[in-house]
Amino acid sequence: MVSNKAFGEFFKKKRLELRLTLREFCKRNNFDPGNISKIERGLLPPPHSDEKRRQYAKALKIKEGTDDWLTFFDLAAVCSGSLPSDIAEDEEVIKALPLLFRSIRKKNDMEEDDDLRNFIQSVRKELR
């Protein structure tokens, strides 16, 4: 499973972009500084509740529908060991995931079509 650290680092980055100390951020939003500190350091997992995730996103001034919004919620889902809800609800995507996973795991891309091969190479490049 992906480490909680990825979510925590993103959370902290967004808080620092607001130029707020941990204590000031927590004071303004009525959050427990101990818990937020543990989230940012990857010691606590992202919240499981979508409502709490939305509350944190709003406090971090992450606008719904933006790339940051998707990253925030995707990292929270993956760090919690699940797929993002919009992905999990799409039956066609779910049916295609095993092929995608097998293709990403392959060392030799010879059996893949060009579009899939290009996509996989892009993903691998991002992961480096």
pLDDT in tens, the chain (128 residues): 467 899 999 999 999 999 999 999 999 999 999 999 999 999 999 999 999 999 999 999 999 999 999 999 999 999 988 888 888 888 888 888 887 788 777 755 555 567 667 776 776 666 55
Phi, psi of 117 (to 5 degrees): -60, -45
pTM of the model: 0.77
As to burial, measured by CB atoms within 10 angstroms (0-12 exposed, 13-18 middle, 19+ buried), residue 22 is middle
For residue 80, give every residue at least 6 positions away whose Cβ sits within 8 Å of its Cβ, in sequence order, or none: 45, 46, 48
